[in-house]
Structure 1
Amino acid sequence: FIVLALCCSFFSSRATPLPFEFSDCDDPDVFKAVDAALKKYNGDRATGNQFALYMVMEAKKTAGPDAQFHVKYQIRETTCAAEENKLWQDCDYKVSADAKTGECTAQVHMNNAEKTSNVSQDCKIFPDMPKITLTQATCLGCFHPISSDSSVVSEILKQAIQKFNKHSAEPALFKLVEIKEAKRQTVAGWNYAIKYEIEETNCSKDQFQDLTPECKTTSRG
């Protein structure tokens, strides 16, 4: 009677997942993975507008011919309707104030031999920015336009030109030609800012102490 003892060893084999490594967001392979993920997202939309890539924020991939990608990317709503079946690259962004935005996290497995991809992703879409209504309020302490025909402006310019004629080194008197702008600021009192143009007249300082109706502007300006 012979007893045979057989010792069998069983080896359990489990494939160790390849580690992800950070990749350049400008890597063409990363773009292919994001393109596949975004096309799937747009293809699953039955209504509304398509979304286009706005920015790749993070990219990781495994080594090997059939790489797996982990990508985070931002998308923005376009003017192309979902049912148009256009490529997102051919669509224009909607105006920023009216456009929805989104952020997607995707796992993409690329099979280069069969030129296929398997995508698992989650996208969060944010509504368009609320429209802001602008209202204009009076700025206290700011200069505000006033009429250039007011008697106050006329009196200020009369005194300013008299002072200029008295203290300038010019041989002839100058007179007002045009008031270009007049502003007033309210503080403890009033401050005035006036832009005006003067021209030389035919009245010399030797003969005239101040402007008279006889003083006319000359062609010399």
Structure 2
Amino acid sequence: MKAFIVLALCCSFFSSSAVPLAFEFSDCDDPHVFKAVDAALKKYNEDRATGNQFALYVVMEAKRTAGPDPQYYVKYRILESTCAAEENKHWQECHYKVSAEAKTGECTARIHMNDADKTTNISQECKIFSDVSKIRYTVAPCLGCFHHISSDGSEVSDILEKTIQNFNKNSGEPALFKLVEIKEAKRQVVAGWNYIIKYEIEETNCSKDQFQDLTPECKITSRG
């Protein structure tokens, strides 16, 4: 009896007739995202009349629209710095204030950058916390990563049906092979879906000379 453990990599894309999303996810380390966040944080510091400036701590989420004049939607975390608000300094020149004394905050901003006119329109909201110990930290999901999905649904079975048909058609084996077990299934959200599926197949008693595809008559055989 021959058995194989197979890894299937599959892609499924949205139909071209579907309405595209207004925003698509961007890498938080993208220089264009940093430029947008920098503009938003500079505006926030400029609007502060008293106290200290804030410096960027981390970008938590970033989206953008397609096209030459993109709009960015970003969420970022800031920490109080040692630079006073009235000082004419860029936040990158400032040091973080001692964490036990520093205020922290989270900002949500929408930035429209027009490179041709060298203009930037920003709307944002920042929530500042004075007591760092009361901040509740959560683990954000990795939006572009593979995540485990159920192997029992039609989503996975439909993919494997076509994959095994393709294997039986193109393999050099004299007999047809049949699914035995699904080991693991993962899905990644992109402009559609990517799949990673690990599964096991075994040889059946149906030869390719007599059967073009699997039928209920095809049973897993114990022959080597």
TM-score normalised over the length of structure 1? 0.50
Residue in structure 1 matched with residue 74 of structure 2 by the alignment:
71
* In 1: Cα distance, 2:76 partner to 2:59 partner: 4
SS in 2 for 1:98: coil
How many equivalent pairs are there?
115
1:66 partner letter: D
Q: What's the counterpart of residue 98 of structure 2? A: 95
Match of 2:60 in 1: 57
Q: Alignment identity in percent? A: 77
Kept in 1: contact 2:50–2:85 (CA 8 A): yes
Shift of 1:74: 0.1
Counterpart of 1:30 in 2: which secondary structure?
A: helix
Corresponding residue for residue 45 of structure 1: 48
4+ aligned runs moved over 4 Å, structure 1: none
Write out aligned runs for 1:1-221 (5 A).
Answer: 19-129=22-132
Deviations 1:27-59 (A, max 9, x none): 011001000000000000000000000000000
1:183: which partner in 2? none
Structure 1 SS opposite 2:96: coil
**Relative contact order (C-alpha < 8 Å, sep 6+): which is higher?**
2
How many Å separate the matches in 2 of 1:53 and 1:128?
Answer: 18
AA aligned opposite 2:121: N
Looking at structure 2, the residues matched to 112 and 18 of structure 1 have their Cα atoms a distance apart, in angstroms, of: 23
Structure 1 position 116, deviation (Å):
1.4
Distance 2:117 2:124 in 1: 21
Whether the aligned pair in 1 keeps the contact of 2:104 and 2:132 (CA below 8 Å) is no
Looking at secondary structure, tell me which structure has more strand per residue. 2
Counterparts of 1:108 and 1:85, CA distance in 2? 23
CA separation in 1, counterparts of 2:45 and 2:27?
Answer: 25
Q: TM-score, normalised by structure 2?
A: 0.50
CA distance in 1, matches of 2:26, 2:85: 31
Higher alpha-carbon Rg: 1
Contact 1:18 1:63 in 2 (8 A): no
Unmatched 5+ stretches in structure 2:
1-18, 134-224
The offset of 1:19, in angstroms, is: 1.2
Cα pair 2:73 2:108 within 8 Å, conserved? yes
